[in-house]
Structure 1
Amino acid sequence: MVLTQRTAHLDAILAALHDKGSHPIVLHGRMSRKQRGDRIAELDTLPPDDPRILLATGKLVGEGFNHPPLDTLVLAMPISWKGLLQQYAGRLHREHATKTDVRILDVVDTGHPALLRMWDRRQQGYRAMGYRIAEEDPMR
């Protein structure tokens, strides 16, 4: 699941993934209730061990969204509030037969002091939830 705040960002990610041959399912608040229901039904009909890519806005899947096979979150937006981080991570913590691990990939923009402070707060939140932070050099 890839989370962002802006539908324009979702559109850009969707275009990039389509260029790679992927066909993600998109959910955002500008969709009608029926469209969202159809996308969720499409997601729910995938075989349990099939790979899936869900692109969504955080506001839409923050509360009440449940899809137990999800095991990876790409956080493609800056947040700092621990409660929101726990809410998003909680989307991955639903029990499912094929799930053994969960992973959060946090996209960090290190070029802005305010965004770095938000990352520092998220690290505290991850540790409080029991996550291990493995930093990767983006230049590799």
Structure 2
Amino acid sequence: MIFDDVLQALEHKRSPVILTERRDHALLLAERLSRFARNVIVLTGGVGAKQRRGATQRLGDIPATDERVLIATGRYIGEGFDDARLDTLFLAMPISWKGTLAQYVGRLHRSYDAKREVIVYDYVDEAVPVLKRMSEKRGRGYKSVGYSIDCGPASSCHPTMLPIL
């Protein structure tokens, strides 16, 4: 599901970031996406400073017209990360705290000339009660920072904010 949604976002010329909390999950997603997408960049902890600088440099070197996918851990992309091109967030991990949610969606709100809207893909396993409750908390968090929520299939909702400029 996440994989197909990311490819569709790329077809629509979006600049996505996939957030996860697990390094192995990020690497698995990157391996699978790299067969179908150009410029897949992974930013996670557990690597040396030289590797991190190299990945950040590669990200910055990609021309604005080229597709790219950023896959990162939430801790890595938390405070201090800035990439104004990002306009689509794939939340591939459950969170419930409003402050964390605001921090992650805030990464999408940097001013960028080509950006007209931001979209968040939020995946929910409603069969697991704790994950459903976390989703309900995120729903309130999205609304508190100005998002509207459009639920497609029962397992994914797309909080959007229009306009961003």
Structure 1, residues 66-109: CA drift from partner, whole Å, max 9, x if none? 00001000000000000000000011000011111111001111
Q: Is the contact between residue 4 and residue 58 of structure 1 (CA under 8 Å) also seen in structure 2?
A: yes
Structure with the larger strand share: 2
Per the TM alignment, residue 21 of structure 1 is displaced from its structure 2 partner at its CA by 4.5
Q: CA deviation at 1:18?
A: 2.4
Q: Are 1:77 and 2:59 matched, yes or no?
A: no
1:84-99 aligned at under 5 Å gives the runs 84-99=100-115
Aligned to 1:121: 137
Question: 8 Å contact 2:109–2:118 — kept in the other structure?
Answer: yes
Summarize the alignment of residues 1-140 of structure 1 with structure 2, pairs less than 5 Å apart: 1-137=17-153
Query: Unaligned stretches of 5+ in structure 1?
Result: none
**TM-score under structure 2 normalisation?**
0.80
Which structure is higher in RCO with an 8 Å CA cutoff and minimum separation 6? 1
What letter matches 1:61 in structure 2?
I
CA distance in 2, matches of 1:53, 1:86: 21
Preserved contact between residue 14 and residue 24 of structure 1 (Cα < 8 Å): yes
Name the stretch that deviates more: 44-53 or 81-90.
44-53
Aligned residues: 139
RMSD across aligned positions (CA): 1.4
Which digits, 9 at most, give the CA deviation of each residue in 1:99-134, with x for residues without a partner? 111110011111200000000000001011111101
> Structure 2: 5+ residue runs without aligned partners?
1-16, 156-165
